[in-house]
Amino acid sequence: MVTQAKLYSEQCRTYGQWINGKEIKAENLIERFAPESGKVVAQFAEGTKEDALLAIENAKETFEAGTWSRMPGAERAKILARWARLVEEESELLTRIEIEESGKIRRVAEGDIAGTVDLIVYASSLANQVSGQAYMDIGEGLNAFVVKEPAGVVGAIVPWNFPTIIFGQKVPLALAAGCSVVVKPSEFTSGTAVELARLAKKAGVPDGVLNVVTGYGVPVGQTISESADVDVVSFTGSTRTGQLIAQGQGTNFKKISLELGGKSAAIVFEDADFDAAIDGVLFSIFLHQGQVCCAGSRLLVHENIAEKFVHALKARAEALVTGPLDDAKTEVGPLVSPEHLKIVQGYVSSAIDDGAEVICGGKVTQQAAYPDAPAQTFLPTILNGITPAMPIFYNEVFGPVLTVTKFSTREEAVKLANDSNYGLAGSVWTENIQTAFYVAQRVRTGTIEINTCLEGKPQLPFGGYKASGLGREKGLTGLEEFTETKTIGLRVSPKKGFFGG
């Protein structure tokens, strides 16, 4: 168990590349300034194309050697279970890294680490259950077997907003399937990826099976996604980058899984449990300052309760607590960077110019514990009077900004919800089961939840329609992303030759 250390200790963490079970120091480092304090809390190796190619080479050699890919599933399961226990033992260290590097409040950071443990445990339960089908006597003494095999080398590209738990959505299932992995974390939040790789080695994952290359998208991410020796690319990030990755596969024909942007709708009917809907809408947009791909950033509310509902939301949003991230009472933290803050501010300013009414927020405030640090906390913001004629109805803000649009019928609610290039998630709030299923069956999203939101359990596949991506993470479907299907035919009795003779 790691000893608890003071947040933002004077000792800056320095990470090299994690390749073939060893940490390789780098000449050039990327400094990470903590969103809350403005202090340098970590230095990450600035990866090169050569670093990425070395990691891919080691992953491929290890995969082909079979030390992991041909290890019995039961043995892989034991190692993954040990890994989960080690991650749980180091939860305080990992939590503090999340707080410092990503600007999470403590409760969210703790939840991410616990969720990552759950994901590894779930993957361990599947490692010895990769199954297929047997077809007996399907014609003239022919038997056949349809089997799932590990796909090969996986390139896992992880974003900055949830660096640990999204690592957990990709890597454990890839390992459970028998793949080798090269992880490229965000240059903002690379610390937990290296720490998790260290713990995987300690748990018994062979050298070369799990590698981490830190650095920028170009050249590291680009090299991984375009390499002919990478068999699967699993990417979470912006739709634009996902499009570039997909375009880059024109000559490689590798499998790709893309979890991209979202503009999810929270649809509240007049018969909804009022307090539960308020709680759900607040949670789905203001969790981690709205820096969540499946955030419920569009409130579609029935016109008969719209005024009352927005008034109650305003009161609750303005009561959310800002404060030190390490304080369990804090509910609002800073955005990930000054550059991202400017993007969020720009979206809000444009919406105001287009006629949006600011119900609350729309302002920047200082992080309470660090008055000398750059102000990066954007207060929870609600914009009323939003129509499909306004760009903010469609654009993913990726910040604590909720837009409000009224509807009068369930048909109109569905039409508004589907009026988006995205299709990642959504929620519907009603006490009428017929209304709930009417909406759930017609909204084109990968996930739609009834009277709840952002559940995200390991067993539940996650991914999107339309510009929200391809493929799925988590669940049995997520495991299959890292496998290939092979048909093995077996003739048990001779067959007359086609050509005679």
For the stretch 283-308, pLDDT in tens is: 999 999 999 999 999 999 999 999 99
Written as one letter, the residue type at 398 is F
Both 215 and 285 in a single domain?
no
Which one-letter DSSP state was computed for residue 370? Answer: -
Contacts for 434-441 with beta carbons within 8 Å, 24 or more apart?
Answer: 435/269, 435/271, 435/410, 438/410, 438/414, 439/267, 439/410, 439/413, 439/414
3-state secondary structure of 381: strand
pLDDT of residue 499: 87
pLDDT of residue 369: 84
pLDDT band at 501; cut points 50, 70, 90: low
Give the CA-trace dihedral at 211, 215, 216, 222, to 10 degrees: -30
pLDDT of residue 500: 72
Both 293 and 320 in a single domain?
yes
| Percent of the chain's residues with pLDDT above 90 | 92
334 domain-assigned: yes
412 domain-assigned: yes
pLDDT of residue 451: 98
Both 61 and 184 in a single domain?
yes
The CATH number for 441's domain is 3.40.309.10
pLDDT of residue 394: 97
344 domain-assigned: yes
Angle, vertex CA 164, rays to CA 159 and CA 168, nearest 5? 100
pLDDT band at 273; cut points 50, 70, 90: very high
The CATH number for 252's domain is 3.40.605.10
- Provide φ and ψ at 356, rounded to 5°: -70, 145
pLDDT of residue 6: 62
| Percent of the chain's residues with pLDDT above 70 | 98
- Provide φ and ψ at 272, rounded to 5°: -65, 155
Both 82 and 69 in a single domain?
yes
Catalytic residue positions, numbered? 259
Helix or strand (DSSP H, E) at 168:
helix 163-177
pLDDT band at 9; cut points 50, 70, 90: low
pTM: 0.96
Q: Is a pLDDT exceeding 80 seen at residue 1? A: no
End-to-end CA distance of the chain: 74
Total count of domains within the chain: 2
79 domain-assigned: yes
Q: By the 8 A CB rule, do 225 and 248 touch?
A: yes
Q: Is a pLDDT exceeding 70 seen at residue 332? A: yes
pLDDT of residue 495: 82
2 domain-assigned: no
pLDDT of residue 494: 84
7 domain-assigned: no
Written as one letter, the residue type at 294 is C
Both 71 and 217 in a single domain?
yes
463 domain-assigned: no
User: Chain-centre distance of CA 319, in angstroms?
Assistant: 28
4 domain-assigned: no
List the domain range (segments joined by +) for residue 375.
265-450
